[in-house]
Amino acid sequence: MRAAFEKIYAANAADPNQDQLADGSQIAREPIYGQRMSAAQLSFAPDAPETVQLAARAQHIRRWEIPRSDFPMDRAG
């Protein structure tokens, strides 16, 4: 599963949206989001199967490629 997480991280590292860290450096937003989702998933279900762990990490993979504005705005998010 570690190899899968690394591939997800690498795919998301191309995110052009950046967040600033406390030290002033910039980092792509989506890899951090994936890590936060994995941490949340582990707190809710630490014994979840690998498929659930992968789904939590990859739920926003390359999210920036299709902006929300490309979809009808009358649908609930």
Could you tell me if residue 71 is inside a domain? Answer: no
Are the C-beta atoms of residues 33 and 56 closer than 8 Å to each other?
no
Residue 2 has pLDDT above 80, yes or no: yes
| pLDDT category of residue 70 using cuts at 50, 70 and 90 | confident
Q: Are 54 and 4 in contact (CB under 8 A)?
A: yes
In a domain, 69, yes or no: no
For the chain, the domain total comes to: 1
Q: What is the pLDDT, as a whole number, of residue 20?
A: 92
How far out from the chain centre does Cα 40 lie? 12
Q: What is the mean pLDDT of residues 5-12?
A: 95
Residue 38 domain boundaries: 2-64
> Following CA atoms 19, 22, 26, 29 in sequence, which dihedral angle do they give, to the nearest 10 degrees?
-30
Within-domain flag for 73? no
Q: Is 69's pLDDT higher than 90?
A: no
Q: Which residue in 11, 66, 65 sits closest to 34, CA to CA?
A: 11
Let me know if residue 70 belongs to a domain. no
Query: Which pLDDT value is given to residue 24?
Result: 93
Residues in the chain: 77
